[in-house]
Structure 1
Amino acid sequence: MKKLRYFFEIQLLDLAVWLLPRLPRHLLMVLARVLGTLAFWLDARGRATALDNLRCAFGDEYSPAERRRIARGSYEVFARTFVDLFWSPSLTAETWQQHFDIITDLPSEEKARQNGGVWVTPHFGNFELVSQVWGFRGFPFTVVAQDFKNPAITHLFKRLREQSGHTFISQDNAMIKLMKALKRKGHAGLLTDLSITPGRAATAIQCYGLWTSVPTLHVELAKRLGLSIITGVCRPLPDGRYEAHLFEAIEPKPEDDTREVTQRIWDIFEQEIRKHPECWLWMYKQWRYRPVGKPGVPHPDYPFYSNYSKALVQMVPPELLPQEDVASAASTGAPSRKADA
């Protein structure tokens, strides 16, 4: 049964890769809106997550109706991202400029071209297609990607994503592979807004004023190798085109505090998300772990799915947490990653 399901999955995706590049852009935009709207109504769990994320992030800034509008827009942007990924064989080194406006910092780009660099973005807008554009512009990335359960789908996505010269690698020994590529003056492309288990590979930052546990790989790579962290986003435009915007290049020193640098990078992205909230992936569980409250008891400031984590309490500077939470974590002993998972 599993093999049969895998067969039909890849046949359907192969059909999309064949068909979508043959459709005009305006029809692709209609298709993305239809698929996004359907997903919004059919994905009850994801819709609930998105709406509660918006409640916790913005409070009373948006009414319930406005939150639903933003959440629906987020589904539409995400659908457009993957419609355009299947359309991307139409994008070439000669044609990409028809679809993108680039706002960049040329000195930062030139330094990265000479020395290599760590390029970071959140799940904002079309993070898939803008990666390909930078490949066409002479910045081939090494990117870590999670494998699908269906190996044929993994191969298909790898082929689509590598069209402009990138190399996609598995998560096994990812840091070692990335360091080898960067030492050859290469480029690493990373998504930084992942919610991961608190531990050695994570740090605590405030996202919309709420603590969360995110990866530090981008900061550690830059600190160890003396490279720039280049931040940017890709915003979809109503006419089917995109605006890719590079922000400041951050150059952390080995002695810099990793948490503070990670927070600084996120603050750049949060400012952009606040301008265009529908462009962020609100249906993702951004706050899986929280350092406040009690185990098994929901906290009104955090989404319904968040879990109390002693390990995250230990990662937050004590002066930034309510003292009762610090004392509670200390009284229960050393944090247990197994218990927090």
Structure 2
Amino acid sequence: MIKHFFSVVTFGFFYLLSLLPFWLLYIMSDIIFVIIYYIFRYRRKVVDENLFYAFPEKTEKERASIRIKYYRYLTDLIVESLKLLTISEAEVKKRVYVPNAELITDYFAGGQSVLGILGHYGNWEMGALRFSQLFAERRVIVYKPLSNKFFDNIVIRMRSRFGATLVEMKSTMRKLISYKNERTITVLVGDQTPSKPEIKYFTNFLNQQTAVFLGVEKLAKLTNSVVVFCDVRRIRRGYYQCTFIPMFKNPKETNTYEITHAHVKYLEEVIKEKPEYWLWSHRRWKFKPEDMV
């Protein structure tokens, strides 16, 4: 009972904060940045290690510059994500420009479903909400449940606001098979870290051998869905552009690991161009090939 009460109060607090205008949320972001960067030094060791191994060719000063830009963006991402609890459809449309949505409608018209791959880059959550507005066909967002049930429920509520169907990662294959008579666009985050029992494949990513889920490739081949990369870039504070990048129109004709390698490499090039917008505080390299022996 007490736990439920505190959950309700906490959600109410977050909800009220999300009603604040963006300009005020960004003032909050500036304050949060000072607190987590200079006072609490939130995950500084993780970020420094990730940047060191990803960019050994850069100087310490260059990596420090990326680090501080990353934390400045991270706090913006926090308040922007909070805003998504109450943001209007019109506001999302204004803030996420999609220059080539017709690419997806053309695939639908040709009778194919679409598999869209995202990275933890830019505001992927706002990008996913924008996808929910674009098409009349079924929109599926694949997610990995959070261990904290309270925050998991908040994320589910946020992601499904504009009509998207949320599907747990472990149920994705079964669900997509059940939608085989529908045209769908399914969005997955392609740079999540598999748990040790789930690891089947390593590839080179940001200068390190990296465990990668093979789910995108398996789903694409099973459903013969067109594979596109959802390239979300920050234009300026609070505004983004998402471009659909065609990758594979006939996935069943690809070689083993070809799809996986392609989407991992594309994300890598995006990160190298503007590294501060990727999730560096995530423990992405917990496992190495030698750990699997």
TM-score interval (norm. to shorter): 0.7 to 0.9
| Cα separation, partners in 2 of 1:53 and 1:153, compared to 1, 3 Å | closer
Q: 1:137 aligns with which of 125, 134, 139?
A: 134
- Secondary structure of the 1:194 match is coil
Aligned to 1:26: 23
Contact 1:204-1:259 at 8 Å conserved across structures:
no
| Cα separation, partners in 2 of 1:205 and 1:199, compared to 1, 3 Å | farther
Query: Is 1:118–2:96 an aligned residue pair?
Result: no
Contact 2:117-2:229 at 8 Å conserved across structures:
yes
Query: Is 1:51–2:42 an aligned residue pair?
Result: no
Contact 1:231-1:248 at 8 Å conserved across structures:
yes
Aligned to 1:289: 287
Question: What 5-or-longer segments of structure 2 have no aligned partner?
Answer: none
Give, as a single letter, the amino acid of the residue that structure 2 aligns with 1:166.
A
Q: Offset at 1:183?
A: 4.9
Aligned to 2:95: 99
Matching of residues 141-156 of structure 1 within 5 Å: 141-156=139-154
User: How many angstroms apart in 2 are the aligned matches of 1:253 and 1:153?
Assistant: 35
- Secondary structure of the 2:247 match is strand
Q: Offset at 1:50?
A: 1.1
Contact 1:252-1:261 at 8 Å conserved across structures:
no
Give, as a single letter, the amino acid of the residue that structure 2 aligns with 1:234.
V
Q: 2:13 aligns with which of 2, 6, 15?
A: 15
Contact 1:231-1:246 at 8 Å conserved across structures:
yes
User: How many angstroms apart in 1 are the aligned matches of 2:39 and 2:2?
Assistant: 24
Query: Is 1:39–2:36 an aligned residue pair?
Result: yes
Q: 2:71 aligns with which of 71, 75, 84?
A: 75
Q: Offset at 1:268?
A: 1.1
Contact 1:118-1:227 at 8 Å conserved across structures:
yes
Aligned to 1:331: none
Aligned to 1:249: 247
| Cα separation, partners in 2 of 1:45 and 1:159, compared to 1, 3 Å | closer
Aligned to 2:166: 168
Q: Offset at 1:15?
A: 1.5
User: How many angstroms apart in 1 are the aligned matches of 2:180 and 2:68?
Assistant: 39
Contact 1:205-1:259 at 8 Å conserved across structures:
no
User: How many angstroms apart in 2 are the aligned matches of 1:205 and 1:37?
Assistant: 36
User: How many angstroms apart in 1 are the aligned matches of 2:88 and 2:180?
Assistant: 25
Q: Offset at 1:67?
A: 2.0
Task: Judge which range, 238-247 or 206-215, deviates more.
Answer: 238-247
**What is the TM-score with the length of structure 2 in the denominator?**
0.86
- Secondary structure of the 1:123 match is coil
- Secondary structure of the 2:24 match is helix
| Cα separation, partners in 2 of 1:257 and 1:60, compared to 1, 3 Å | same
Task: Judge which range, 113-122 or 186-195, deviates more.
Answer: 113-122
Q: Offset at 1:208?
A: 1.9
Q: Offset at 1:224?
A: 1.5
Matching of residues 188-337 of structure 1 within 5 Å: 188-197=186-195, 202-291=200-289, 308-309=290-291, 311=292, 335=293
* Number of residue pairs aligned between Structure 1 and Structure 2: 291
Task: Judge which range, 130-139 or 180-189, deviates more.
Answer: 180-189
- Secondary structure of the 2:57 match is helix
Question: What 5-or-longer segments of structure 1 have no aligned partner?
Answer: 292-307, 312-334, 336-341
Q: Offset at 1:275?
A: 1.2
Q: Offset at 1:99?
A: 1.5
Q: Offset at 1:29?
A: 2.1
Aligned-residue sequence identity (percent) comes to 18
User: How many angstroms apart in 1 are the aligned matches of 2:280 and 2:6?
Assistant: 29
Q: Offset at 1:9?
A: 4.8
- Secondary structure of the 1:19 match is helix
Q: Offset at 1:241?
A: 1.6
